[in-house]
Amino acid sequence: MILSMTGYGKGTAAKGGWQADAEVKSINSRYLEIYLKYPPILANKEYELREFIKGKIKRGKLNLTIQIKKNGYEDAAVSLDESRLKNYIALIKKVKKTAKISDKLKLEHLLLSRDIFTSTIEEIDESHFASIKKAISLSLDSLIQMKKNEGLELEKDLKKRIKSIEKRLDQIEKDAEPSVGEHFNKYKEKVKNLLDENQNINNERLESELAIIAERADITEECVRLRSHIKFFTDSLDKEEDPGRKLNFLCQEMNREANTISAKTLSTSITHNAVYIKEDIERIREQIQNIE
């Protein structure tokens, strides 16, 4: 099963008078990027939180917000330490006087010091931290479920486009069967028209060289490789746990074969079908960017 990299999840856990709320959003990213927003009380737990998230999510850009409430008050609720505020104002006035600065004291100057504010939640023990991790886990589980649902839709679309490529490839192989002989005859006719009738032509040598040229237009090997890539692609969709990077590589290889087929053939029909195949491959590559 494939997973989308985009999704949203939310989780809540409570213990005693504590409540933790976690909200996570995920978007596309080549690697796993984790951006955390949490109250200062969790600053020393950041590494543990990141490792916990890595155990559940493989790829994507995650924005996780954690809020803590105690006795109904959010972690953002703060109180003013008046003593520290007075000391801070006195310090600023002393600096202004020493440096002979005449600027007025403004509110933004005071807000620069976070020490004058105290949180309603001052410490956290392991049991409460376990509740926070549970809230995060629930939010990630919700996120993963959404990623699975979107992944199912992505898988349907990818398989539909692969079927379209297979049909185009079937037509290319059908058109390619007589193409080498046709190319040989076309080359031979062109050579005859270019050469003067009085010139001596070594027909055996001429036909040998023309056969080699015509053989270069044979696309059998490219068709076989393209069909092999299609099989690996389908198998990866059904069996791989994290198929994103492998599918992207297979798309590159399929596109390479389609380009070679288009370059080698002189058949208009084969060229057109090769172009349609490349269009489907490009659409598949765009979709793959959203797979974990």
The answer to whether position 199 is within a domain reads yes
Is pLDDT above 60 for 265? yes
Average pLDDT over residues 128-156: 93
Is pLDDT above 90 for 142? yes
Question: Exposure of 267 by Cβ count < 10 A (0-12 exposed, 13-18 middle, 19+ buried)?
Answer: buried
Is there a single domain that holds both residue 159 and residue 250? Answer: yes
pLDDT of residue 179: 57
Q: Who has greater pLDDT, 10 or 242?
A: 10
Point out the least confidently predicted range of 25-39, 42-56, 100-114.
100-114
Is there a single domain that holds both residue 190 and residue 220? Answer: yes
Residue 34 belongs to domain with CATH number: 3.30.230.70
Which of 155-175 are b and which e, b meaning 16 or more Cβ less than 10 Å from the residue's Cβ? beebeebbebbbebbeebbeb
The answer to whether position 265 is within a domain reads yes
Is there a single domain that holds both residue 279 and residue 197? Answer: yes
Q: Who has greater pLDDT, 146 or 195?
A: 146
Is pLDDT above 60 for 120? no
Is there a single domain that holds both residue 253 and residue 202? Answer: yes
Average pLDDT over residues 247-275: 90
CB 26 within 8 A of CB 151: no
The answer to whether position 41 is within a domain reads yes
pLDDT of residue 144: 94
Is there a single domain that holds both residue 159 and residue 222? Answer: yes
When divided into structural domains, the chain yields a total of 3
**Domain ranges, residue 67:** 7-76+123-147
The answer to whether position 194 is within a domain reads yes
**How many CB atoms neighbour CB 37 within 10 A?**
10
| 217 token code pair | 């237009």
Average pLDDT over residues 125-141: 91
Q: How far is CA 195 from the centre of its chain?
A: 58
Is there a single domain that holds both residue 108 and residue 205? Answer: no
Is there a single domain that holds both residue 212 and residue 261? Answer: yes
pLDDT of residue 77: 47
CB 253 within 8 A of CB 162: no
Q: Which of 5-19, 73-87, 154-168 has the highest average model confidence (pLDDT)?
A: 154-168
The answer to whether position 161 is within a domain reads yes
Point out the least confidently predicted range of 55-69, 211-225, 227-241, 253-267.
211-225
Is there a single domain that holds both residue 246 and residue 198? Answer: yes
Is there a single domain that holds both residue 42 and residue 138? Answer: yes
Which of 198-220 are b and which e, b meaning 16 or more Cβ less than 10 Å from the residue's Cβ? eeeeeeeeeeeebbeebeebebe
Per-residue pLDDT reduced to its tens digit, 61-117: 999 999 988 765 554 445 666 787 788 788 888 877 888 887 777 777 666 665 666
Q: What is the pTM of this model?
A: 0.64
Is pLDDT above 90 for 237? no
CB 227 within 8 A of CB 257: no
The answer to whether position 1 is within a domain reads no
Is there a single domain that holds both residue 18 and residue 131? Answer: yes
The answer to whether position 2 is within a domain reads no
The answer to whether position 35 is within a domain reads yes
Is there a single domain that holds both residue 49 and residue 134? Answer: yes
Is pLDDT above 50 for 198? no
Question: What residue type is assigned to position 88 of the chain?
Answer: Y
Is there a single domain that holds both residue 87 and residue 99? Answer: yes
pLDDT of residue 256: 94
Mean pLDDT computed over every residue of the chain: 82
Average pLDDT over residues 187-207: 57
